[in-house]
Chain A
Amino acid sequence: MKSKIKNKIKAPLLKKVTRINLEKKIRYQSDELKSKSGQLRQGANREKLGFNREKEGADRERQGAKREKLAEEQIHIRTKAMESTFDGIFIIDAKKPDFPIIYANQSFYDLTGYSKNEVIGKNYFLLYGYNDNSRVYEEIKQTLREGKSFQGEMLNFKKNGEKFWSLLRITQVRDKNGITTHYVGNKTNTTLMKQRDLEIKEQREELLHVTRVGKLAEFVSSLAHEISQPLTAILSYAQAAQRLLKEREPQLQEILQFIINDDQRAAEVIRRLRYLLKKTKPAFESLDINVLINDTVSLIMPDVTARDKSIKLELFTNPPLIQGDRIQLQQVLLNLISNSLEAMESSKDAHELSLKTSLKDKYTILVEVKDSGCGIPEGNMKKLFTHFFTSKQDGLGMGLSISRSIVEAHGGHLEAENNHDHGATFYFTIPIDLKNNR
Chain B
Amino acid sequence: MTSNNSIIYVVDDEVSICRALGLLLKSHGFRAETFTSAVDFLAFKHPKVLSCLILDIRLPNINGFALQGMMAERGIITPIIFITGHGDIPMTVKAMKAGAIDFLAKPFTDKKLFDAITIALSKSKVQNKDQSEKDKILRRIKTLSPRELEVFNFVVQGMMNKNIASKRGTSLQTIKVHRGRVMQKMQAKTVTELIHMAQKAGLTAS
Chain A positions within 8 Å of B, measured between CB atoms, are 221, 224-226, 228-237, 239-241, 243-244, 260, 263-264, 267, 271, 274
Given known A231-B107, A264-B107, contact A225–B86 (CB-CB < 8 A): yes
User: Which chain B residues lie closer than 8 Å to A241 at the CB level?
Assistant: 27
User: Which chain A residues lie closer than 8 Å to B106 at the CB level?
Assistant: 228-229, 231-232
Would B19 and A233 count as touching, CB distance under 8 A? yes
Q: 11 A-B residue contacts at CB 8 Å?
A: A224-B85, A229-B85, A232-B107, A233-B14, A233-B19, A233-B20, A236-B20, A239-B110, A240-B24, A243-B27, A264-B109
Chain B minimum-CB-distance residue to A227: B85
Q: What's the Cα separation between A377 and B108 when bound, in Å? A: 42
Given known A239-B110, A243-B27, contact A233–B17 (CB-CB < 8 A): yes
User: Which chain A residues lie closer than 8 Å to B21 at the CB level?
Assistant: 236
Would B27 and A233 count as touching, CB distance under 8 A? no
Would A274 and B24 count as touching, CB distance under 8 A? no
Q: Give the Cβ gap from B36 to chain A, nearest Cβ, in Å.
A: 13
User: Which chain B residues lie closer than 8 Å to A244 at the CB level?
Assistant: 27
Chain B positions within 8 Å of A, measured between CB atoms, are 14, 16-17, 19-21, 23-24, 26-28, 58, 83, 85-87, 105-110
Q: What total of A-B pairs shows CB separation below 8 Å? A: 71
Partner of A232, one of B26, B28, B108: B108
Would A243 and B24 count as touching, CB distance under 8 A? yes
Given known A228-B106, A231-B107, A243-B28, contact A237–B86 (CB-CB < 8 A): no
Given known A229-B17, A243-B24, A244-B27, contact A236–B85 (CB-CB < 8 A): no
Partner of A236, one of B24, B86, B87, B105: B24
Partner of B86, one of A221, A234, A239: A221
Q: Give the Cβ gap from A401 to chain B, nearest Cβ, in Å.
A: 14
Q: Give the Cβ gap from B106 to chain A, nearest Cβ, in Å.
A: 4
Q: What's the Cα separation between A243 and B106 when bound, in Å? A: 20
Q: What's the Cα separation between A243 and B110 when bound, in Å? A: 10
Q: What's the Cα separation between A139 and B37 when bound, in Å? A: 74
User: Which chain B residues lie closer than 8 Å to A233 at the CB level?
Assistant: 14, 16-17, 19-20
Q: What's the Cα separation between A226 and B109 when bound, in Å? A: 18
User: Which chain B residues lie closer than 8 Å to A260 at the CB level?
Assistant: 109
User: Which chain A residues lie closer than 8 Å to B83 at the CB level?
Assistant: 232
Partner of B107, one of A221, A226, A267: A267
Q: Give the Cβ gap from A158 to chain B, nearest Cβ, in Å.
A: 55
Q: Give the Cβ gap from A61 to chain B, nearest Cβ, in Å.
A: 96
Partner of B17, one of A224, A232, A239, A267: A232
Would A237 and B85 count as touching, CB distance under 8 A? no
Q: Give the Cβ gap from B87 to chain A, nearest Cβ, in Å.
A: 7
Partner of A239, one of B24, B58, B85, B87: B24
Q: Give the Cβ gap from B120 to chain A, nearest Cβ, in Å.
A: 17
Q: What's the Cα separation between A240 and B17 when bound, in Å? A: 12
Q: Give the Cβ gap from A277 to chain B, nearest Cβ, in Å.
A: 12
Q: What's the Cα separation between A221 and B91 when bound, in Å? A: 15
Q: What's the Cα separation between A228 and B107 when bound, in Å? A: 6
Chain A minimum-CB-distance residue to B28: A243
Q: Give the Cβ gap from B14 to chain A, nearest Cβ, in Å.
A: 5
User: Which chain A residues lie closer than 8 Å to B28 at the CB level?
Assistant: 243
Given known A225-B85, A243-B28, A274-B87, contact A236–B110 (CB-CB < 8 A): yes
